[in-house]
Amino acid sequence: ATAQIQHDFGNGLMLRNTTRYGRSSNDYIVTNPDDNAGNVARGMVWRNTKSRDSVNTTLVNQTDVMAEFNTGAVKHNFVAGVEFSR
């Protein structure tokens, strides 16, 4: 889920906040043949098992400030932000 709030202060100044929440899970078993001991020549293959059962939760909050202004004939853009994540 993602939520974004943006406010334009006028005169080229804008503030934006984005918050994102995510959850994903991995649950798998993988086996692959492994012949590092030379067992295939004797008719045997050892299986190397890799498995995982995990849940990952992510929470991120990012705030940006953007400004656009001119000084004479020169146009300037300014962007700064801060982000917190867990």
- The pLDDT value recorded for residue 36 is 72
> What pLDDT score was predicted for residue 1?
97
pLDDT at residue 41 in the model: 76
Scan for tokens 């974004």, then name that residue. Answer: 4
User: Using CA atoms, how far apart are residues 49 and 51, in angstroms rounded to an integer?
Assistant: 6
pLDDT at 73: 95
- Token output for 65: 């400030």
Q: The pTM is what? A: 0.65
What pLDDT score does 31 carry?
A: 82
Low pLDDT (below 70) residues in the chain: none
74-85 and 2-10: which strand pairing?
unpaired
Determine the pLDDT at residue 38. 73
